[in-house]
């Protein structure tokens, strides 16, 4: 039996492949460098973390919003470092009641927002000196800490209920409701689009900015279609721009007990002439 000739491999299999050199870090596009962080942010927008309900001493949504407003007003009127330190101890005591996941979210959000506020008020260092800079940054950090605490511990429905209870215009309530609902849809859509791009892309693109442009173009078209569908759905359900809310909770004596110290401190600051 004569030996058969060996099968010849194709050229693309016979020739050794040369590895493709990796691009330097500064030449990699922004989306590729920060893809994991962007996906984590979009996941948080698509599926916001649930807000656990307090099992004891739970304030009604209108009183919680009033407490936040009074606290922000008191922080704005206090100029003494001792007073700011006492207010910081107050918000620190409230943080002890948070769960570990809520506390982690609060620390990350508050640290980023405080650093952003510092970048805006940094020019005051050359205008009025370091003492004024520290005072403004301390007050800004306290304001942001109270706002972040309210965001972490309050659900969207409670926030809208509080706005309606304090006779906020329906246009503002509707704007908040649609904007926050749209953010969830936006995060979900972008997250699915990036997952599809990861599964269909096998090599680095030659024009990464063209890919980002097409992604935002599709997002604009999706937003336009979503706005038309939302308008048609609201019109079909007979929505006339007015919210009808049924009061499910009533203001109790302990709500007034919690809010009364803030009112007292505010009256003292006003009588003293701030």
Report pLDDT for 160.
Answer: 83
Distance CA 100, CA 102 (A): 5
> Do 132 and 117 contact (CB within 8 A), yes or no?
no
Is the confidence at residue 29, as pLDDT, over 90? no
Q: In whole angstroms, how large is the CA radius of gyration of the chain?
A: 27
Q: What percent of the chain has pLDDT over 90?
A: 4
Contacts of 215 (CB under 8 A, 6+ apart): 190, 193, 197
Instruction: Say what the pTM is.
Output: 0.68
Q: Which two tokens stand for residue 32?
A: 């590729």
- Per-residue model confidence as pLDDT tens digits over 52-97: 655 555 778 888 888 898 889 888 888 888 888 888 888 888 888 8
pLDDT band at residue 133 using 50, 70 and 90 as cut-offs: confident
Q: Which two tokens stand for residue 274?
A: 């701030």
Average pLDDT on 233-262 reads: 70
């Amino acid at each position: 039996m004569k030996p058969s000739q060996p099968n010849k491999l194709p050229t693309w299999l016979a020739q050794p492949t040369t590895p493709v050199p990796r691009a330097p870090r500064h030449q990699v596009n922004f989306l590729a460098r920060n893809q994991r962080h962007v996906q984590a942010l979009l996941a948080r927008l698509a599926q916001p973390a649930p807000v656990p309900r307090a099992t004891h001493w739970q304030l009604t949504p209108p009183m919680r919003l009033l407490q936040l407003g009074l606290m922000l007003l008191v922080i704005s009127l206090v100029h003494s470092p001792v007073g700011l330190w006492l207010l910081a101890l107050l918000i620190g005591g409230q943080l002890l009641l948070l769960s570990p996941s809520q506390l982690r979210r609060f620390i990350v959000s508050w640290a980023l927002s405080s650093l952003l506020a510092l970048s805006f008020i940094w020019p005051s260092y050359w205008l009025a000196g370091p003492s004024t800079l520290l005072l403004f940054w301390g007050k800004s950090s306290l304001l942001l800490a109270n706002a972040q605490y309210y965001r972490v511990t309050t659900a969207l429905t409670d926030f809208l209920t509080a706005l309606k209870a304090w006779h906020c215009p329906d246009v503002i309530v509707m704007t908040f409701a649609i904007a926050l609902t749209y953010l969830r849809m936006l995060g979900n859509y972008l997250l699915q689009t990036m997952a599809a791009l990861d599964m269909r892309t096998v090599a680095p693109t030659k024009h990464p900015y063209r890919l980002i442009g097409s992604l935002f173009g599709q997002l604009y078209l999706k937003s336009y279609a979503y706005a038309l569908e939302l308008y048609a759905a609201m019109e079909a359900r007979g929505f006339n721009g007015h919210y009808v809310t049924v009061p499910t909770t009533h203001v109790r004596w302990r709500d007034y007990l919690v809010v009364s110290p803030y009112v007292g401190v505010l009256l003292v600051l006003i009588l003293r002439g701030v």
